[in-house]
């Protein structure tokens, strides 16, 4: 019988059926960070349990690390307590920690791939909903709660129900100035923020075939924003080329066997899906959010919707969003004043994001009065970007060049919005209060659109600002 990648990975990792009908699934790779793991280690100690496979758990610190003053102790005593707790837990249980001094620290979803820990045909779990990112390698990767972090530490397994699979095809060539971020914002806009509940999203089609590995990660990253806990792309040569030579990737003598194994996990050509949705790349334009969830999105040249034109079930949230965002319904979003521009996060804080943007901002200046920050997703990204001269380009243009971390993606470190500030953000969530100020406003967009906003001080079409044709 023909199978999807999900079927194959699921089968290879099934330990047994549990009495309640759930599958006890082996989790090959477990990633942890400082926010959702300390309580799990606490539970482990309370139960007198050990970590079953310490060599299959990897830790980093990302959410709470300051991106400017990185000397310890951190000025925030709670943040300091959290990094110390993680350090102590990793020491006690023998877990590899990509700590600040290692030069390999970064956002967990950037570090895993960068180190070659994220591999095709594997199962990956992390106490973080954007774990779906790792699906870009043909892994089944999902976010879990703290009790499940405990389960994985203690047993390297968890109880799960197999999701259905929705195949999402995007075919054709994206227009200049349209990026992977626009593709996923468009998909979420069309399928809804809860459209993916109960599904894994399998992304494919010629647009995905031609995407780089990093573009695939951007899309898979936001699967959860569409309600899908898992999102993946079938592994191919692009995936293998990316992994080759990375620290945790199979070494030369094992490489060919690994590639053959990885390839065999791809969905069979005649696999059947629970649902199939098709998009055309040509129909997708630069997409930005106007509201308080990632599905409230429009093309840059569209007007902010009026609630009356939306389906009835979406109206109340739309009203609430318009009040929070202080946007006028029926009017263009273009021209809205921007206070902060944030380039970073596990969605768009990778090297290719920074290189692409640097190409355009070179020799230009951030608008007076706009706070613009660039936060590399990992120390690894940061080191290469500095060597390539990207940091210089950004600094010269008036951007602040920061240390690696989650930064302004969420309000758990010193990088926060203040008051009603509006932020043009390359991150993934525009929930009320997400960026640290309960009344702060987030507009999600691609990195290039963030750059255009930084230079002009308003929400604008990057294709016009940078003459992209």
Partner 1 sequence: MALEKITQVTGRGVYVPGEDIDTDRIIPARFMKCITFDGLGEFAFYDERKAADGSLKPHPLNEERYVGAKFLLSGSNFGCGSSREHAPQALYRYGFRAVIAESFAEIFFGNSITLGMPCAVMAHDDIQALAGLIESDPAILITLDLLEGKVTAADMDFPATLPPHAKEALVQGKWDAIADLLESVDEIKNVASGLAYFKAA
**Residues of this chain that bind ligand SF4 (CB under 6 A):** 62-63, 107, 109, 128, 130, 345-346, 406, 409-410, 427-428
CB of 390 to ligand SF4, least distance (A): 19
- With residue 60 as reference, give the H or E element that holds it: strand 57-60
Residue 418 touches which member of ligand SF4, partner 1, none, C-beta under 5-8 Å by kind: none
CB of 28 or CB of 177, closer to partner 1: 28
CB of 334 to ligand SF4, least distance (A): 26
Q: Where are the alpha helices (DSSP H) in 94-155?
A: 108-115, 146-155
The helix/strand/coil state of 255 is: helix
Could you say whether residue 47 binds partner 1 (CB under 8 A)?
A: yes
Residue 23 touches which member of partner 1, ligand SF4, none, C-beta under 5-8 Å by kind: none
Which residues in 323-362 contact partner 1 (CB under 8 A)?
none
Could you say whether residue 157 binds partner 1 (CB under 8 A)?
A: yes
* Apex 176 CA angle, 266 and 389, nearest 5: 90
Q: Where are the alpha helices (DSSP H) in 62-193?
A: 77-93, 108-115, 146-155, 180-191
Could you say whether residue 2 binds partner 1 (CB under 8 A)?
A: no
CA 436 to chain centre: 18
The helix/strand/coil state of 253 is: helix
Could you say whether residue 310 binds partner 1 (CB under 8 A)?
A: no
**Given 1, 71, 313, 467, the residue binding partner 1 (CB under 8 A):** 313
User: Which residues on adjacent β-strands are paired with residue 30?
Assistant: 57, 125
Site string for partner 1, 240-259 (x = CB under 8 A): --------x-x---x--xx-
Judge whether 159 and 22 are in contact, CB under 8 Å.
Answer: yes
Could you say whether residue 42 binds partner 1 (CB under 8 A)?
A: yes
Q: Where are the alpha helices (DSSP H) in 326-389?
A: 345-348, 351-361, 379-387
Give the residue among 128, 109, 142, 277 at the shortest CA–CA distance from 202: 277
Residue 424 touches which member of ligand SF4, partner 1, none, C-beta under 5-8 Å by kind: none
CB of 407 or CB of 421, closer to ligand SF4: 407
* Apex 134 CA angle, 223 and 210, nearest 5: 80
Contact region for partner 1 (CB under 8 A) — 38-46, 103-111, 204-212, 270-278?
Answer: 38-46
* Apex 379 CA angle, 373 and 380, nearest 5: 120
Could you say whether residue 289 binds partner 1 (CB under 8 A)?
A: no
Other Cβ atoms less than 10 A from the Cβ of 198: the count is 14
CB of 17 or CB of 280, closer to partner 1: 17
CB of 159 to partner 1, least distance (A): 4
Report the side by side order of strands in the sheet with 14-17.
Answer: 14-17, 23-26, 157-160
Could you say whether residue 308 binds partner 1 (CB under 8 A)?
A: no
CB of 445 to ligand SF4, least distance (A): 15
Judge whether 146 and 40 are in contact, CB under 8 Å.
Answer: yes
Could you say whether residue 48 binds partner 1 (CB under 8 A)?
A: no
Structure tokens at 264: 């065999």
**Given 70, 72, 85, 307, the residue binding partner 1 (CB under 8 A):** 85
CB of 11 or CB of 301, closer to partner 1: 11
Half-sphere exposure of 73 (CA within 13 A, CB side): 10
Judge whether 78 and 412 are in contact, CB under 8 Å.
Answer: no
Q: How many residues bind partner 1 (CB under 8 A)?
A: 84
**Given 1, 16, 369, 467, the residue binding partner 1 (CB under 8 A):** 16
CB of 106 or CB of 411, closer to partner 1: 411
Site string for partner 1, 394-413 (x = CB under 8 A): ----------------xxx-
């Amino acid at each position: 019988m023909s199978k999807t990648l999900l079927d194959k990975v699921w089968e290879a990792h099934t330990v047994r059926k549990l009495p309640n009908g759930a599958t006890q699934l082996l989790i090959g790779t477990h990633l942890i960070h400082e926010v959702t793991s300390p309580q799990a280690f606490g539970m482990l100690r309370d139960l007198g349990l050990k970590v079953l496979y310490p060599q299959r758990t990897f830790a980093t610190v990302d959410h709470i690390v300051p991106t400017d003053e990185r000397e310890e102790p951190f000025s925030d005593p709670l943040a300091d307590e959290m990094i110390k707790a993680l350090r102590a837990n990793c020491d006690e249980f023998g877990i590899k920690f990509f700590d600040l001094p290692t030069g390999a620290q970064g956002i967990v979803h950037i570090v895993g791939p960068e180190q070659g820990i994220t591999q095709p045909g594997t199962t990956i779990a992390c106490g973080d909903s954007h774990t779906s990112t790792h699906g870009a390698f043909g892994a089944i990767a999902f976010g879990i709660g703290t009790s499940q972090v405990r389960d994985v530490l203690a047993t390297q397994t968890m109880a799960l129900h197999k999701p259905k699979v929705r195949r999402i095809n995007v075919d054709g060539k994206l227009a200049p100035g349209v990026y992977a971020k626009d593709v996923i914002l468009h998909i979420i806009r069309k399928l809804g923020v809860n459209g993916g509940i109960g599904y894994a999203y399998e992304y494919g089609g010629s647009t995905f075939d031609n995407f780089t590995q990093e573009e695939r990660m951007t899309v898979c990253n936001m699967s959860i924003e569409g309600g899908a806990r898992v999102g993946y792309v079938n592994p191919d040569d692009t995936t293998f080329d990316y992994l080759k030579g990375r620290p945790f990737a199979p070494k030369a003598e094992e490489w060919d066997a690994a590639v053959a194994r990885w390839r065999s996990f791809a969905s069979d050509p005649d696999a059947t899906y629970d649902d199939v949705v098709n998009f055309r790349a040509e129909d997708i334009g630069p997409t930005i959010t106007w509201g308080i969830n990632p599905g409230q999105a429009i093309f840059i040249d569209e007007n902010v919707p009026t609630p009356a034109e939306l389906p009835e079930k979406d109206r109340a949230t739309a009203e609430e969003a318009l009040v929070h965002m202080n946007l006028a319904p029926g009017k263009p979003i273009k021209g809205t004043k921007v206070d902060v521009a944030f380039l970073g996060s596990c969605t768009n804080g990778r090297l290719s994001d920074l290189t692409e943007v640097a190409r355009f901002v070179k020799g230009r200046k951030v608008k007076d009065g706009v706070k613009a920050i660039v936060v590399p997703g990992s120390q690894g990204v940061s080191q290469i970007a500095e060597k390539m001269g990207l940091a210089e380009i950004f600094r010269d243009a008036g951007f602040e060049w920061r240390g690696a971390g989650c930064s302004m993606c969420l309000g758990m470190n010193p990088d926060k919005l203040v008051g009603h500030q509006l932020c043009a953000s390359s991150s993934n969530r525009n929930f009320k209060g997400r960026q640290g100020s309960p009344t702060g406003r987030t507009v999600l967009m691609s990195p290039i659109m963030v750059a255009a906003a930084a230079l002009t001080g308003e929400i604008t079409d990057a294709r016009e600002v940078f003459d992209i044709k």
